[in-house]
Amino acid sequence: MTSPGEQMHALVERLYPICRSLTGDGVRATLDIVGEYLPLRVHEVPTGTQVLDWTVPQEWNIRDAYVADATGRRVIDFAASSLHVLGYSVPVSATMPLAELRPHLHTLPDHPEWVPYRTSYYQPDWGFCLAQETLDALPDGDYEVRIDSTLEDGHLTYAEHVIPGRTADEVIVSCHVCHPSLANDNLAGIAVATFLARELAATTPHYTYRFIYAPGTIGAITWLARNQERIDRIKHGLVLACAGDPGRLTYKQSRRGDAEIDRALRHVLRESQRPHRVAEFTPYGYDERQYCSPGFDLGVGSLSRTPYAGYPEYHTSADNPAFVSPEAMADTLAVCREAFALLDRNRRYVNLSPYGEPQLGRRGLYDALGGRSDAKEAQMAMLWVLSLADGDHTLLDIAERSGLSFAVVAAAADALHRAELIKE
């Protein structure tokens, strides 16, 4: 049986060839595949719909595109890679000399063998992306230029998967589905989100979990515009991107900086002793900046490995399935699992015997620790829980104040709850 990491990598490989963009059939094809793993509710929002300060754009679809030389040989071919066409290119059918074509060709001179990813979402344009070494080899002469695309009124597509919890309060997990053949940004995030949802669906979590698969920026803005009535239910959130590269984990905090999700991720990463970095919020990056915009100010952070634009392969053909690994995606998934387990378990308690320290020995609480290598730590955790179980402090507060791990504090709270010394 293949491991979850290998299964996530297989999903990345399957999604990789699809040409995705802000809108269009590539997004739908991606969601169809994810829908084989999870039941999805797919939403179609018409072109022209006002969403906060934005308007849903026209839908873009592409069937074929190429540049062919005088012999008919395709020197640039969309069929070979969806990166070869400037995203949202308008239709073109023409013959032109190389000098006229050159301004529409995009390369990476510093990495001459790589193809860049470029778009022109909100300003009509057309173009091709290619390796610098391919461009250097093109002789002067006339070239046939063909982009068989449509840009017309249609829909913006996004999807949700909801896992009901014991409470209507929600945790959102968001990933973007608008990038074409880029394995780390964004397919690894889609894969980790999908397998996290599958794991959570096998449990009965405390919170309701809502997974959002939407195109970047405009998709998150559209979701927010259409869900303003539920915003007060959202207690925590996480944006997943760049989730499979070999770099160390990076957690970017919410705009608040002290939201419970921020504290949970800091604690999990520190206690796990994984190599990691915690970054301050900036209003640039992925969709955390939409969820954290001041009118909403949600407690939503972002988890990645190497952050956006932090690795040479970012937004190039080198961000391919070989660049991401099953092990890295499995590690990202594990951190998500641990962080959400902490959030789901984090509670406030009240000490039912608050006048003086209750006698733990006669309740068998010390005996229950006999022989444990961490008996001293577990005993201290019980004392800390009893001391701070005043209805104001959460278990995470207690863990941070005591310097103990959340797992040890939660186990102490469970023992004290069974002994009827504390209650939620």
In order, the DSSP letters of 29-83 are: HHHHHHTTTS--EEEEEETT-EETTEE---EEEEEEEEEE-TTS-EEEETTT-GG
d(CA 396, CA 347): 8
Residue 351, helix vs strand vs coil: strand
Beta partners for residue 77, in sequence order? 66
Average pLDDT across the chain, whole number:
96
* Region class of 141: left (phi > 0), else alpha (psi between -120 and 50), else beta: left
Instruction: Report, as an integer, the average pLDDT of 233-239.
Output: 98
CA angle 287, 293, 295 (to 5 degrees): 140
Say whether pLDDT at 369 is over 70: no
Report the share of the chain in percent with pLDDT over 90: 95
Instruction: Report, as an integer, the average pLDDT of 110-119.
Output: 98
Contact 155, 165 (CB under 8 A): no
Instruction: Report, as an integer, the average pLDDT of 98-110.
Output: 98
Say whether pLDDT at 213 is over 60: yes
d(CA 276, CA 307): 12
User: Could you tell me which residues are annotated as the binding site for Zn(2+)?
Assistant: 179, 185, 315
For 274-301, write each residue's pLDDT tens digit.
999 999 999 999 999 999 999 999 999 9
Say whether pLDDT at 186 is over 50: yes
Strands (E), 242-379: 249-252, 276-279, 300-304, 348-351
Confidence bin at 373 (pLDDT 50/70/90): low
d(CA 399, CA 197): 27
Q: Do the bridges between strand 300-304 and strand 249-252 make them parallel or antiparallel, or are there none, so unpaired?
A: antiparallel
Beta partners for residue 55, in sequence order? 50
For 147-171, write each residue's pLDDT tens digit.
999 999 999 999 999 999 999 999 9
d(CA 257, CA 251): 11
What pLDDT does 260 receive? Answer: 98
Instruction: Report, as an integer, the average pLDDT of 208-213.
Output: 98
What pLDDT does 370 receive? Answer: 47
What pLDDT does 364 receive? Answer: 82
User: Most distant CA pair in the chain: distance in Å?
Assistant: 94
Instruction: Report, as an integer, the average pLDDT of 367-390.
Output: 80
Confidence bin at 375 (pLDDT 50/70/90): confident
User: Could you tell me which residues are annotated as the binding site?
Assistant: 179, 185, 315
Say whether pLDDT at 371 is over 80: no
Structural domains in the chain, CATH included, are 4-57+155-345 (3.40.630.10), 59-152 (3.50.30.90), 348-423 (1.10.10.10)
What pLDDT does 342 receive? Answer: 98
Say whether pLDDT at 64 is over 60: yes
For the ranges 181-195, 348-362, 369-383, 389-403, the lowest mean pLDDT is seen at: 369-383
Instruction: Report, as an integer, the average pLDDT of 51-66.
Output: 98
For 301-340, write each residue's pLDDT tens digit.
999 999 999 999 999 999 999 999 999 999 999 999 999 9
Instruction: Report, as an integer, the average pLDDT of 105-109.
Output: 98
Say whether pLDDT at 372 is over 90: no
Residue 125, helix vs strand vs coil: coil
User: Crossing angle, helix 326-345 and helix 260-272, to 10 degrees?
Assistant: 130
Instruction: Report, as an integer, the average pLDDT of 374-393.
Output: 91
d(CA 121, CA 168): 37
Instruction: Report, as an integer, the average pLDDT of 159-185.
Output: 97
What pLDDT does 146 receive? Answer: 98
DSSP state of 336: H
